[in-house]
Structure 1
Amino acid sequence: MLSLARHRQTDLNPVPLFRGLQAVLVAFVLLIGFSAYAQEAQTPIPQTQTPQAGNPAPEAVQAPTVIKSIQVSGNQRVEANTVASYLLFAPGDPYSESRIDTSLKTLYATGLFADVAIDPRDGNVLIQVIENPIINRVIFEGNKSLKTDKITDEIEAEPRSIFTRSDIQEDVQRIIELYRQSGRFAATVSPKVVQQPQNRVDLIFEIAEGPVTGVKRINFIGNAEYADRELRKQIVTAESRWYKFFSSNDNYDPGRLEYDREQLRTYYTNRGFADFRVVSAVAELTPDQEDFYITFTMDEGEEYRWGDISVETQLDELDPEFLERLIRIQTGEIYNASQVETAIDTLNFAAGTTGYAFVDIQPDIRRNRDTKTVDLVFNVVEGPRVYIERIDIVGNTTTLDYVIRREMELVEGDAFNRILLDRSRNRVRALRFFEEVEITETQGSSPDRAVVEVKVKEQPTGELSFSAGFSSADAFLVDMSITQRNLRGRGQLLRFVIRASSNRREIDLRFTEPRFLGRNLAAGVQLFDVTIDFLEEAGFRQSRTGGQLSLAFPLTENTSLSTRYSLRQEDIEFPQQNQCAALNATSQAGGARPQDLQLLSLCEQSGGRISSIVGYTFSWDRRNDPITPTGGFDVNFSQDVAGVGGDVKYLRTDVRANAYKGLYKNVIASATLAGGYIRGWGGDDVTINDRYFKGNFDFRGYDNAGIGPRLVQVDGETGQVTQRLNALGGNAFGLASAEVSFPVGVPNLLGSLFLEAGTVGLLDDSFKSDFVSASNTPGVEVGDACGAVTDDGNDATFVTCQRSIDDLSIRAMLGASIFWESPFGPIRFDFTKPLRQFDYDDRKSFQFTTRTRF
């Protein structure tokens, strides 16, 4: 606005009252006028401004009433028409200060301009802009632990994009967050800009990564029922150790810490502590910024048991008493929160079979703090009819969408069901591809439509591990494995394993497609090369090289069936193998001696044979936890038929059942029944490398192949065993065990008491022996039947017999075990005392094993 400075003039008209005082009055008025003039002279006078080139003219005194034209200046890359398209006015529109102001903000919000000025100029609007520069290059300096590609995938800045300082600051925060997720909390990022011609800039991120920030210690406060060692197993975050250089969970991640809180809550509420809560989870950085101390403060509350369980419903077709019988929650059992979801699934299924597809089951959990019981009422009502309009999946940077969608139990168009959504979330979590899985729903295009969003956060799925250990049975153990559980983001499993010990060497390569042909069918292929050394126990070494194809699919929620086909070449080696040619020639001539029959049977199995085997396994799993069960059972029944081609013919049947029961807090009882039987068919007997050899950890208290049929040397006169020879293995075995595990009151130590009983036997008659192996008695020769010598009353002075003992005698063993979670890995000690044994058994009263990963 222009304004003119105005000077006030003072009129001097003195009244001629007293002429004698005229001079005095004139002087007084002059003095007043001079003071007023001096005061006005000190007031700034607005100066008339002359417009300069490049600057908008000052606003006129009168605002324009109509916009006549629009002119754009200062633009280099952006077209004038593009600038005008963001304006809220056009030529011919009435002038509006609010529209001018909004247009100014709109131009700034585009991010295209660093400065914008709008000058009306009597209706001829001039818009002067200064454009933001264009990013020429994005350069990273100092990033060693994170690849440049990983950083560029997370930030917004890229070549040929517009440079704005606010966006660059956001990118700086994203880079810092990436480093924090990788365990580097001391990382700093400094952005720098290098000006280039044509309004371009090079953007440089100078990165100081700092040291890796590990987890020095994980502490728990308020845990009276469970030891720190047990709780550390339940969370994902792990303490840093020097040998965990391939681990990615031993650094602090806030997102992972929230997941750990949920894991602790689940662990406690599934074991009776209904009031459990994590009061706080605090991570404190050490002064050197190298490690974190993580502290979980918890309130365990009291242990609860189930009280009254009931079902209430007003639906005519549903019988509450029938529904109550379907619920597997028993009054008096320890409270388990996961059983509620299982019961709801059961009730939903039962309601669905009667035609109620939109049933809504609302559990009403009532805690009785006085009696420490939890009453549970299931309210079954008919819910609103809502259908799924769309399923959106976000956050999966590696895993493909269809891998997640195939775990969803609902698809577009299905009736909305909260239970099925929760079950879908558990199925996606069970893939173990994601740190976090969250499923939310919002209203769709209409009230009866819902949009489901599945939000996931990826986690590493590859693993490279080395293990080394020592045991009393295998001496040394070395294990190297490379595993990728989510190959190419398709949910496929690829694993390569090399194992070696003093009596076993194995190479195993396997690949599994969990959804073969897009169906709920897991298909796998396996290649292997295994060598097992039984030279000390049974006098032979066996090798197997081949492959296996498998298909597995669920039958029901708790049962599954897996089928397989194996083709392998098998061979055995033994020290007397150079005698086989002569023995075979003698046998063909009909002159085989009894003492050579065992060696001859080994010779017949040497040279390599092809085994073609078809089999299946039926599994029934009702355990409450697949890792540390405290209730339920599991059963596995399998059969294999060899002889569909190949050189070997047999039928093998195996069964194993386990049951678990939580007695009190960490005291868990378990029982096992196992058995197996193999028999040849088509005139074939079962060869030594296909028989059952039990002992060591299969039957504690015995060495490898320590029980079962065995060659022994006996005194021909007394029948006493004088020497234990080779184990022969058996065609059948049976095993029963009962065990109770418990804490011993020392951190990182668990104990157990066990009772085991079992047997191995039923050797084919063609592999049994009974002959004189040495004699100094007239009329008794090597090769005679021992029974003839001992039964005819001869006065034998020196007779030694070789016999195969196979009587299915029951062995029983009482023992105790100690499990120690040492800093170098788990160590297990077993101490046993026989309740029933035989002289020819290969006993072992103490054994231990340890293994560590690094």
Structure 2
Amino acid sequence: MTRPLSRRLLTLALASALALPAWAQTALAPFAVSDIRIDGLQRIGAGTVFTYLPVERGDTLDAAKAAEALRALYKTGFFEDVRLDHQGSILVITVVERPAINKLTLVGNKDLKSEDLLKGLKDIGLSEGETFNRLNLDRVTQELNRQYNNRGKYSVEISPSVERLDRNRVNLTLNIKEGKAAKIRHINLVGNDSYSDEEITKSWESHTSNWLSWYKRDDQYSREKLSGDIEKLNAWYLNRGHVDFSLDTTQVAISPDKKDMYLTAGITEGEVYSVSGVTVSGDTVLPKEEIEKIVEFIKPGSTFSRGVLEFATDAITARLSNIGYAFAQVNPAPTIDRDKRTVGIDFQVQPGPRVSVRRIVFKGNTRTADSVLRREMRQFEGSWYSQAAIDRSKVRLSRLGYFEEVNVENEPVPGSDDQVDVVYTVKETTSGSIAAGVGYSQLSGVNLSLQLSENNFLGTGNRVSVGLTRSTYQKRYDFSFMNPYFTDEGLSLGYNLWWREFDYSSYNVAQYSTNSGAAQVFMGLPLSESDSVSLMFGIDSNEILAFPGSTPPPLVDYISAVGNRTFHALRTQLGWSRDTRNDYFIPVLGSTQSLSAEIAMPGSTVEYYKLSYDFAKYWPLNQALVVKTAVNLGYGDSYGKDFTRNLCYTAPTYTDSNGDGILDTEVPGPAPSDPCLPTSPDFDKTVTASGLPFFENFYAGGIAAQGKVRGFVDNTLGPAYAGISGYRQPLGGSFLLAGSVEAIFPKLFDSPAARVSAFLDFGNVYNGWDNFSASDLRASAGVALLWRSPMGPLSISYAMPLRKKAGDQIERLQFTFGGQL
């Protein structure tokens, strides 16, 4: 009996001790409150306390009223301690305030972004300026542990530290040691007799370690990923007719060191069912035969598939939503016959009210005028709702290049079930630049530029560019303006003016220079949502500066045959383009095509034409991999008369430059005269100018040439001239063939401004179609980084030539900064 008695006495003593503070605060003799004084306040105003205090002057304070007052003040969360006392009839409330959070710092978090964490902490009252409550800190620690555990990081350590400051403030630091995510060591499916583990788990996000796990991180356990994979397991069987499939058990085991995970799922496959018949019921709005035609691809006798049902349901819903039934519902009701192993499907259509769009609202466009966005709309106010038109409008906004992000949602109109507002929310991005800058590339060296380039000038959607560029090979002054909506029908109109002094010898091209200028006007007209045509007229002048002895003789002969070193051209260009990409900056779906024909019109110094075709297509294989295929074709020739002249040349002489007895340096004679003098010892030479002018040739090789074949020095592939010294001068060609296959990894960086790719390039240029030979194509493979940095675009590639020939100029590492990506 002694032990139970002692326990009861101990319990009574503890209860008395715990009750003592409450008794001390509430065992006040009732009295009438004549005044109220609050002691201990530092940050909180007395008026705030009186707002919560259920006691006023003139009230009688007794034990019940005192207890109520204590509960009310503690409930505010402002105070660590509250005491009630009195001096005569004056109620004295003594408080100890909780400190305020002066600064909240997160240290060590990489997997979870600080801005996301701080937003979550603010939701539970833990943010800078708020009152510090240690209970909230414990809740935060538990929540962070839960979030990291869901991402497979079970060894995470979160250590909060509190630094006391003056004026009742604290600095709060959450030190996070994330540790490494537990790796999936084994996935075991039990009961799958019809399909192998590899077949079923091929599309899963969770995998055991493989050679791509360093990039995909698919061997890192995550509860969210596993939930998605379990749903894929369910879909796998239901899409193959296993109507009675069931997931019996799921087990997730972790090793004692919390580094390895083992996943096990027990399943029952069930029998395969076929479709017995398909019907359509309900209010179909459209003729019933039209809806039945949408689902006629589901044939009786075919294997049942939930995925096919969902596709058919979406097709009916989309058809109705495009004629105004925004809230249409289609319920595929199955009738299961387990004896015959068949499923009958009845698509029950509930169209709901026909909906019109009351307003189209734009949010987030702080710089771009509403009218610029509104002209891209294919859904109109006051017309019937169309999901296809709304989605198309979103794509058109995304492809403008003005916005980093475009989202759309429907907002019901209060008090109306047949009207909605369509709201487009955009996040604007830089659409141009006003800068004095320095760029550099291995091809052109240092580039100094003063450039105003704006694709959305003053928010009007007009494109304006004014520039001055100087580099080792050119001086350029240009002005360009284009209004993409010169008319409401979408006719664009623009102008180009430019002057350029260009030294091709510094551009890995034959040694000659040009002084050229042009004035051009161009217009474009859309043919459809993705197709447009363009037309350009212009006049230009091009003075060719050749240097006998340095400029290759074929080029000198061409100029001599024409008889004029200044070439004038009345130029016109007709083009067609198609763009079905889903995004302007980072497309992962769709294609681009462009076909152009440029003609130097009759009356030009040389009459010629150039044809170009460019094609690129993006193939999304999954979220982590997009394949881009591209091809570039170019061809040019003259269509006018050939130029032929008979010139008188002085034969060159040769000297021994190094004293080895070999004449190796050519000393050209005087410039040719026409005709030869009767007494001249010189010889006659007939020169001809035909085909595409050499200054309009195509070039290939390198990172910046029109025919991009990385790994070779820019512009050096194709025909070239090498004199007696052996110095090789690329001439370009009138026929270009180039292309690439590129694997883009959009998930490798979180930033949409950067992307990494692996590529295979091929291409070359030829002196006319007749000289084309597939055996002369060059090829290379490598990796590339493209980054739209704040200071300008940066492109870096490292390539290994796979197909090359003697004399090719190799350059594996290539980069350009400050140019176009």
Give TM-score, length-normalised by structure 2: 0.49
Name the larger-Rg structure.
1
Give TM-score, length-normalised by structure 1: 0.47
